[in-house]
Amino acid sequence: MLPNQRPYEEKRDFIRVSLDCAVHLQHAASGQRFIASGRNLSAGGVLFLTEEPLACGDLLEMHIEADQALFSMLTATVEVLRIEAQAQTATQWVSGVIRTIHEMDT
């Protein structure tokens, strides 16, 4: 079914799930680690709030551990798609597309 044929308001490929937990990230190139605040997650992407300076195209290794019913743990490679600076703060909203989901060691 094409997005414009869907019978509900959401026209995205994947439904977003609210996310209220720490998102552990690491720059793929430099290895620098930082923690962001998760806002939402879908099968295709993630939105988080951070003070870390990032650029569109940056690749990040992401690890999320949440106490939410839909998922408990996710490790993936994310590419930064969009950055929206927040007025009067050093924070920015970062939208990323999930490029690879990694298997978890059991």
DSSP string, 13-73: SS--EE--SEEEEEETTT--EEEEEEEEE-SSEEEEEE-S---TT-EEEEEEE---SS-SE
- Tell me if the domain spanning 3-100 has CATH number 3.50.50.60: no
pLDDT of residue 15: 78
Domain limits, the chain: 3-100
Paired tokens of 34: 């930082």
Tell me the longest C-alpha to C-alpha distance in the chain: 44
- List the chain pLDDT tens, one digit each, 106 residues: 455 555 555 555 667 788 888 999 999 999 999 999 999 998 889 999 999 999 999 999 999 987 755 566 889 999 999 999 998 899 999 999 999 999 866 5
Task: Note whether 80 and 56 are within 8 A (CB).
Answer: yes
